[in-house]
Amino acid sequence: AHNINYPVYLDGMAVEILGMYLNNKNFIDNSDLLQRAGRKVSFVNGSMRKKILNNPCIIVSPAGMLKGGPAAKYAWRLAENSKAAIFLVSFQIPGTPGAELLNSGAITRNNVKKRVNARVEQFHFSSHSDSTQLKEFLKSLKPETKVFMVHGEGKSSEVLADWARRELNLQAIVPNLGDTYSI
């Protein structure tokens, strides 16, 4: 449909996620389209990674803000290639390699910094809920439910936890690293 004339590869967690989606088709719009697309991609194993970069291709690999995994290795290897492109999706936390790439046009690996000549773009696809969606979910919980705010910036997590305690009578907790709780 998009006239892509290059091989498309899935690597890292993208392989597992595709499998999860296809095993839970009832939760996905256009699951038949996803299944057809899944038949047209190749799955990468570790020994293929260097080889597939020898020819033009598309590689889909979750980036984790380029902190590790296959995406970080691909970005490092493609950085100086002006014909390559590195597309990051979603928010890049300040201080991460993904944020460094977007802000300075450079990438650092093993304390070596490299200028990036590849095309770099950020797309704001997010699997995260916004404030309204989070509040709607919290409203669905019974009062006194214990809720842990573990995936967000500290101040934002505290604001949401305060709201949940005040407005919904939830036991909303923003744990610190190393804290332990009994559930």
The three state secondary structure string of the chain is: CCCCCCCEEECCHHHHHHHHHHHCHHHCCCHHHHHHHHHCCEECCHHHHHHHCCCCCEEECCCHHHCCHHHHHHHHHHCCCCCCEEEEECCCCCCCHHHHHHHHCEEEECCEEEECCCEEEEECCCCCCCHHHHHHHHHCCCCCCEEECCCCCHHHHHHHHHHHHHHHCCEEECCCCCCCCCC
pLDDT band, residue 2 (cuts 50/70/90): low
pLDDT at 91: 80
Quote the tokens at residue 139.
């409203």
What gap in Å lies between CA 57 and CA 81, rounded to an integer?
A: 13
Q: Is the pLDDT of residue 182 over 60?
A: yes
Q: Is the pLDDT of residue 92 over 70?
A: yes
- The most confident of the ranges 2-11, 40-49, 73-82 is 73-82
Q: What is the mean pLDDT of residues 149-171?
A: 91
**Residue type at 47 in one-letter notation:** S
Q: Is the pLDDT of residue 147 over 60?
A: yes
| Residue 123 CA to its chain's centroid (Å) | 11
Quote the tokens at residue 169.
């009578």
Q: Is the pLDDT of residue 1 over 60?
A: no
For 33-59, write each residue's pLDDT tens digit: 999 989 999 999 888 998 999 999 999
Q: How many CB atoms lie within 10 A of CB 49?
A: 17
The verdict on pTM exceeding 0.95 is no
Mean pLDDT (the chain) is: 90
What gap in Å lies between CA 9 and CA 24, rounded to an integer?
A: 22
Quote the tokens at residue 46.
């570790």
pLDDT at 126: 65
